[in-house]
Amino acid sequence: MTDELIERINADCETGTPGPWAWDKPNGFTYEGGFYAGNETVCDFGDSESYYPKEGEPPNDTDARRIARVPDMEARILADAKIIKAAQELADAVDKCNNGLPHPQFLINAAKSFRAAMEARG
């Protein structure tokens, strides 16, 4: 995963509708439904039977569940990316200690960053 992709995901999380999202078919209609975050509409397909061909078909139940998980998956990806970065910084700090550098403060700082990233991930 590239840093650019991580930055795009992060930007989308900051500006997009926060999760969790849920798929709902109001009143049990077959051809109507949308994705909602609390009281906010993320995407509404309306009554596709009445508006066809302008209105898109809502996704099947499996795809709806997958789409609704996107905010949670993005949060996990961003948390894991921070852990990977912190782990690399910790490994680099250990290498510096192995090369005989006398002040281990950078190692302590790297270990603290790694611990914080792990705790934030949950």
Q: Of 69, 97, 112, which residue is a domain's last?
A: 69
pTM for this entry: 0.62
Rounded mean pLDDT, 21-34: 73
Q: Are residues 63 and 88 in the same domain?
A: no
Percent of the chain with pLDDT over 90: 0
Structural domain that includes position 107? 76-121
Same domain, 18 and 61: yes
Q: What is the pLDDT of residue 27?
A: 66
pLDDT band (50, 70, 90) for residue 111: confident
Instruction: For 67-106, give the secondary structure using H, E and C.
Output: HHCHHHHHHHHHHHHHHHHHHHHHHHHHHHHHCCCCCCHH
Same domain, 63 and 12: yes
Residue 116, pLDDT above cutoff 80: yes
Query: What are 36's strand-pairing partners?
Result: 22, 41
User: Confidence band (pLDDT; 50, 70, 90) for 122?
Assistant: low
Which of these, 88, 104, 108, lies nearest to 96 by C-alpha position?
A: 104
Check whether 48 has a pLDDT greater than 70.
no
